[in-house]
């Protein structure tokens, strides 16, 4: 309940939204009432002709910048005039009603475009529910109350007219005046409502709910109450979507009403036993979707590795709002409601290490999640013993998440993740997938080592300090220039002594600094490397081959050029 009030409280605190909610309530009742009488008498063409016939008067009223009641009056006059022409041509000429309405529709649109632009026409079609004045709400309330009293008093007469109009005229002489009074009331309601709802929205609220419930029952009073309730739900839902998702109110409302009508048609064509079976299958599908094992990772690399080890029925996501194709940054925790909700539903959370994922740990601790937290840097072991005096250096090196540039450590990732997942979800396929992927990684390691064999390479400069794992593995000399040291003059002056032949910028970063430095040092600016994380949708093997080809090409070609230059001298 508190969640409901926290959701609706921001809406109720704004006066324009308060008026919009009242307008939704009044229009839902009024359109359902008018639609029940209009559609039961098979006179829906009147609503269609009237709603389109009002457009010239509405656009002309907007052209002269009149108040809302002036625009409504001009719309009502033009609507009545064009509707009368439609009725006259269909009765006295050899034209059916559909042909007459089509002609009036085209004429009304043409006149509307002549008097006003496309903006005025869109306003006439869909209204402006958020900018109606307070006086408009009072007038619409009066129209709703008056229409309800009129229909309540003459309800049986209107039902008799909808059943057989000619017989009711002969049996009850006052029926003509009652029906003309109802038509005048209908014109007044449409003219008043257009300012807030628009002509197309009014027509949709009048016709579509009646059609939706008429397929399942023909009791007029029941159809009215169902239509009013459905109108209210649809209008309020569209209002909240407009506020929270920034969707256009009018088109969204018509889509919801149209979806309800389509659902009613499907329901009417499916036999009840088959419908229950369909609902049962959908329920089990939703339940299975909810019960799917849910795993969260802190990077696309870990997501890719985990996907390689598990069947497709596992749900694996990265907590990141960035899914751009060229995005390669390691992901920090986004503090939003969706991320916190996903963490609460997860059964396993996989992190690189405390260094790169430093923001995750206090948040996970404060959330008190039941998920198992796997920190990979605490479980991997280096290839050889290191000096204990440099323990802090190696701890930082293994916890920063960039060990993936050495396939040896990725193989350890695979073993650790597969073991943890097997403890949570015992499946033999996990071990099989792990063995197959480890074999693929060993082949990748062999391929990269082969690329560097018998090559005389020079040194390169990388705009990131996280490539020691690659150069230690394959014997490549790469100097690091982190972004924090780009502006330090002493560091830049010392670069000329390093005999650098190529500079490698980082993917998805700005290349201006690297380009200028390459011009100053008179060396080649190579293609960017993927250093932080896998790009969205890419695989680990393809990215490692991509980086290796760039490094081999740039460093080898640079060496050949330097050798030729020295030989000429």
- CATH number for 186: 1.10.3470.10
Q: Calculate mean pLDDT across residues 109-130.
A: 69
Same domain, 535 and 396: no
pLDDT of residue 561: 41
> What is the domain count for the chain?
3
Same domain, 488 and 414: no
Q: Calculate mean pLDDT across residues 380-406.
A: 60
Instruction: Specify if 130 maps to a domain.
Output: yes
Same domain, 443 and 534: no
Q: Is the pLDDT of residue 209 over 60?
A: yes
Same domain, 111 and 201: yes
Same domain, 24 and 71: yes
pLDDT of residue 423: 86
Same domain, 463 and 430: no
Same domain, 163 and 209: yes
Instruction: Specify if 276 maps to a domain.
Output: no
Per the CB < 8 A criterion, the answer to whether 109 and 55 are in contact is: yes
pLDDT of residue 71: 77
Instruction: Specify if 347 maps to a domain.
Output: yes
Domain boundary among 393, 419, 450: 450
Same domain, 117 and 42: yes
pLDDT of residue 329: 46
pLDDT of residue 484: 46
Stretch among 67-76, 176-185, 549-558, 560-569 having the lowest mean pLDDT: 560-569
Interatomic CA distance for residues 336 and 148, integer angstroms? 47
Domain boundary among 450, 482, 500: 450
Q: Is the pLDDT of residue 21 over 60?
A: yes
pLDDT of residue 234: 93
Instruction: Specify if 288 maps to a domain.
Output: no
Domain boundary among 269, 304, 325: 269
Higher-scoring residue by pLDDT: 89, 12: 89
Q: What is the mean pLDDT of the chain?
A: 75
Stretch among 17-31, 73-87, 295-309 having the lowest mean pLDDT: 73-87
Rounded (10°) CA dihedral 438, 440, 446, 451: -140
Only one residue has tokens 């397929």, namely 215
Q: Is the pLDDT of residue 493 over 70?
A: no
CATH of the domain at 357: 3.40.50.1980
Interatomic CA distance for residues 12 and 16, integer angstroms? 9
Higher-scoring residue by pLDDT: 560, 98: 98
Higher-scoring residue by pLDDT: 167, 118: 167
Range of the domain at 351: 294-450
Same domain, 349 and 445: yes
Read off the pLDDT band of 286 (50, 70, 90).
low
Instruction: Specify if 517 maps to a domain.
Output: yes
Instruction: Specify if 16 maps to a domain.
Output: yes
Same domain, 115 and 251: yes
Higher-scoring residue by pLDDT: 253, 357: 253
CB neighbours (10 Å) of residue 219? Answer: 10
Rounded (10°) CA dihedral 158, 160, 162, 166: -120
Interatomic CA distance for residues 79 and 55, integer angstroms? 8
Interatomic CA distance for residues 312 and 308, integer angstroms? 9
Higher-scoring residue by pLDDT: 213, 164: 213
Tokens representing 291 are 């019960």
How far from chain centre, in Å, is Cα 84? 46
Instruction: Specify if 284 maps to a domain.
Output: no
Higher-scoring residue by pLDDT: 379, 270: 379
pTM of the model: 0.49
Same domain, 83 and 201: yes
Q: Calculate mean pLDDT across residues 248-259.
A: 89
Interatomic CA distance for residues 223 and 209, integer angstroms? 9
Same domain, 265 and 302: no
Q: Is the pLDDT of residue 373 over 70?
A: yes
Interatomic CA distance for residues 132 and 125, integer angstroms? 15
Interatomic CA distance for residues 381 and 253, integer angstroms? 59
Instruction: Specify if 275 maps to a domain.
Output: no
């Amino acid at each position: 309940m508190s969640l409901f009030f926290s959701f609706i409280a921001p809406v109720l605190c704004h006066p324009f939204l308060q008026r919009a909610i009242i307008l939704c309530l009044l229009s839902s009742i009024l359109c359902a009432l008018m639609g029940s009488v209009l559609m039961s008498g098979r006179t829906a063409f009147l609503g269609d002709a009237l709603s389109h016939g009002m457009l010239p008067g509405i656009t002309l009223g907007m052209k002269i910048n009149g108040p809302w009641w002036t625009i409504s009056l001009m719309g009502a006059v033009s609507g009545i005039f064009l509707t009368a022409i439609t009725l006259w041509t269909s009765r006295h000429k050899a034209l059916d009603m559909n042909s007459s309405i089509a002609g009036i529709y085209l004429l009304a649109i043409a006149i509307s475009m002549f008097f006003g632009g496309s903006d005025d026409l869109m306003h006439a079609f869909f209204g402006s529910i958020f900018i109606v004045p307070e006086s408009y709400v009072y007038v619409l309330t009066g129209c709703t109350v008056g229409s309800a009293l009129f229909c309540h008093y003459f309800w049986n007469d209107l039902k008799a007219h909808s059943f057989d109009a000619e017989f009711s005229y002969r049996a009850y002489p006052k029926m003509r005046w009652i029906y003309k009074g109802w038509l005048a009331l209908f014109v007044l309601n449409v003219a008043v409502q257009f300012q807030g709802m628009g002509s197309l929205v009014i027509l949709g609220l009048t016709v579509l709910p009646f059609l939706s419930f008429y397929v399942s029952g023909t009791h007029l009073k029941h159809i009215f109450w169902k239509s009013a309730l459905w109108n209210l739900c649809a209008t309020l839902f569209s209002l909240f979507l407009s506020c929270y998702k920034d969707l256009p109110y009018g088109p969204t409302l018509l889509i919801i009403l149209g979806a309800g009508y389509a659902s009613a048609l499907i329901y009417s064509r499916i036999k009840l036993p088959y419908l229950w079976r369909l609902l049962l299958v959908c329920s089990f599908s939703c339940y299975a979707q909810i019960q799917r094992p849910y795993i969260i990772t802190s990077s696309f690399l870990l997501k890719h590795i985990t996907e390689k080890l598990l069947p497709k029925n596992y749900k694996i996501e990265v907590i990141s709002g960035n899914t751009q194709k060229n995005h390669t940054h390691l992901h920090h925790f986004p503090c939003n409601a969706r991320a916190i909700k996903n963490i609460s539903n997860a059964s396993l959370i996989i992190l690189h290490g405390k260094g790169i994922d430093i923001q995750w740990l206090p948040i996970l601790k404060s959330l008190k999640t039941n998920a198992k937290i796997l920190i990979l840097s605490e479980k991997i072991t280096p290839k050889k013993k290191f000096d204990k005096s440099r323990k802090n250096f190696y701890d930082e090196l293994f916890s920063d998440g960039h060990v993936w540039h050495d396939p040896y450590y990725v193989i350890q990732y695979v073993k650790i993740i597969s073991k943890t997942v097997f403890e949570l979800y015992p499946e033999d396929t996990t071990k099989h997938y792990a063995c197959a992927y480890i074999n693929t990684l060993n082949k990748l390691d062999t391929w990269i080592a082969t690329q560097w064999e018998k090559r005389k390479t020079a040194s390169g400069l990388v705009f990131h300090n996280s490539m020691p794992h690659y150069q230690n593995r394959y014997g490549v000399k790469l100097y690091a220039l982190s972004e924090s040291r780009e502006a330090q003059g002493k560091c830049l002056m010392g670069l000329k002594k390093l005999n650098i032949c190529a500079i490698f910028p980082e993917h998805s970063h700005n290349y201006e600094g690297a380009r200028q430095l390459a011009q100053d040092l008179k060396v080649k600016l190579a293609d960017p490397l993927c250093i932080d994380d896998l790009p969205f949708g890419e695989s680990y093997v393809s990215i490692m081959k991509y980086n290796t080809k760039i490094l081999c090409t740039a460093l080898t070609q640079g060496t050949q050029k330097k050798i030729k230059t020295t030989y000429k001298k």
